[in-house]
Amino acid sequence: MDKNTRICIIGAGPAGLSAGMYLEQKGYENYTILERNDHVGGKCHSPHYNGRRYEMGAIMGVPSYYAVHDVEEFCGITHDGPKLNRNYKNKEGKVIEPFNPKKNLLKIPHLMEMKKQVKKLGEILETKYKGYDVNGHRGVAEGRYDGYAVTPGREKVSGENPNLKDLALPFKDFCKLNGVEFTQEIWIGPFTSFGYGYFDEIPAAYVLKYLDFQTCMNFVNINLWTWKEGTQYIWECLDAKLKNHARLNSNITKVERKDGKVYVTVNGEVEEYDKLIVTAPLQYLPDYADARADEKELFSKIEYERYDVLAVETKPEDHPEISYYVFDNMTPDRLGHLMVYYRRWRDTKDQVITTYALRKHKNTAEIPYEDCKKTVLEDLKIMKNPASNVVNEQSWYYFPHVFSEDYAAGWYDKVEAMQGKYDTYYAGEVMSFGDMDETAEYSRELVDRFF
C-alpha cells in the first residue's frame, strides 16, 4: 500500500492509538485519529482526586501484556505504580481465605483437586488446544489458528487444530467437557469481577485468549503492573509521542464510502480519506456510517456488558485496609451486587475506593442502573466499609462480544473476510478482547496484515 495513503482512525482508545503507532513504525504518517471525547484512553480512564489519580476503568497489567510493553518502550515509560494486593470477603462481609488449606480443613480434598485440575488445564491448553492463545479469533470456529503467539517474541504461528472448535462453548461447558470444572474458581476472579460476564454465557475463547495460562497465573500470583499516573497515562503518553495527535471532541455524524474514497463528516465538515480503521464499537457503526447489509447483519449480533463503577469516599475509620474480592457475588443469581472494591493507594486514606458490579446476564432482564448503584452502596455497608460520598460514577459499554451460537457459526471469519472490502478495516475490542493489551495487539496484527 502507498505510504501516503490517507487513513482515518475512529477512536483514541488503546486500539486506535496503537494502530497509529504501528502505522507510523511502518512508515505511514498520513493518518488522522478522531476521538469524540475530550480525552484519550477510552476505558483506561484515570481521573484526579486530592492530587493523585484513581482508576475508573482498567486497573492493571501483567508481564505478558506485550503490546502494552511496546507502547511503554515507544514512549520511554514504565509501570511504576503502587503494588497491589487483595483479600476476600463473603457476602456477609466476613474476611475469608478461600484458598488457604489451613483455614479450610474440610475443603482440603476440594482444594487439592482444584490444584490438580489447574495443572491439567494448563497441559491440555498447550496440547489438545494448541493455538488457543493466538490473538484474535480468526479461524477458531473452523478449527484453525493464525496470528501472533503469546510469547516475548510474538512469532507468527498458524495451523490446523479441530479441537479449537470447543472454544465456542460457554466456558462452564468447556470446563465440564474437559473435566476441569474447579478451575472456574480460579479464573473467575480476574474475569467476572473485571466485568467480562459469567461462565455459563461467555464462549471459552474469550476467557482463554484473555486469561491464557501464563496471564492467569500472573494474576493469581499477584505479579501485576500498575502505573503511578494511572492506565490512562499510558495512552496519554502515546498520544503525545505520535506525530499526529488524536483530534479530541470530534463528533462524527456521517461516513460515506464511495468511488474508492472515504468521506467523513466531523464537526460539520467533510474530510476525504482513502482508508478507514474503525476501533470504536462496531455495533454502532450503522448509526453514522453507510453500513452495508453484511455489516448491519453481523454487527447487530454484538452484545455487551453493563459494567458499573463507583468511586466513593469513606470516613477514615471506614476505609478498607486492602482491596477485597467477594466471590459470593460473582454468580448470576447475585447480579447487581458488589463483586470487588479496590483500594489503590495504601499509604493514605484521603483517596477514593472504587467498586465494580455487573447488571446484565444473557438469560435475565437488565437491572436498572440506579437499582444496582443502591445495591452496591448497601453492600459496602455490609462489608463494614460504608461510603460517605459518591465522587464519580460510570456505566461502561463494556466487553463487546458474541454468544456461542454466532461464534460457532463463524461470526469472526465472516467479519475478517470483510477486512478492506469497503476501504474499511475493523479493529477494537470485539475483534480480540476487551482489555487494553488484546486490543492493542490486534491493531498490531491488523497493520501487519493489511498495510
DSSP letter string, 298-317: HHTT-EEEEEEEEEEE--GG
Q: 411 phi and psi, to 5 degrees?
A: -50, -45
What cell was used for 186? 480460579
DSSP-derived secondary structure for 390-419 = EEEEEEEEEEEE--HHHHHTTHHHHHHHTT
- Residue 263: beta bridge partners? 256, 272
pTM: 0.96
Domains in the chain, ordered, with CATH? Answer: 7-82+227-302+403-450 (3.50.50.60), 98-220 (1.10.405.20), 304-399 (3.30.70.1990)
| Per-residue DSSP letter, 328 | G
DSSP label at residue 105: G
What pLDDT shows up at residue 170? Answer: 98
Residue 103's pLDDT is 84
Q: How far apart are CA 284 and CA 261, in angstroms?
A: 21
The pLDDT-based confidence of 32 (bands split at 50, 70, 90) is very high
Q: Is the pLDDT of residue 101 over 90?
A: no
The pLDDT value recorded for residue 74 is: 97
Task: Give the model's pLDDT for residue 314.
Answer: 98
pLDDT in tens, 222-233: 999 999 999 999
Q: Which of 95, 86, 58, 57 is nearest to 310 (CA)?
A: 57
d(CA 286, CA 387): 41
- Residue 65's pLDDT band, with cuts at 50, 70 and 90, is very high
* pLDDT tens profile 159-201: 999 999 999 999 999 999 999 999 999 999 999 999 999 999 9
Q: What percent of the chain has pLDDT over 70?
A: 100
Which pLDDT value is given to residue 315? 97
Neighbours of 223 (CB within 10 A): 13
**Collapsed DSSP state (helix, strand, coil) of residue 225:** strand
DSSP-derived secondary structure for 70-100: HHHHHHT-----PPP-EEEE-TTS-EE-TT-
Question: Is pLDDT of 267 > 90?
Answer: yes
pLDDT in the model for residue 313: 97
Contact criterion met (CB below 8 Å) for 202 and 188: no
Burial of 3 (0-12, 13-18, 19+ CB in 10 A): exposed
Of 305, 304, 292, nearest to 414 by C-alpha is 292
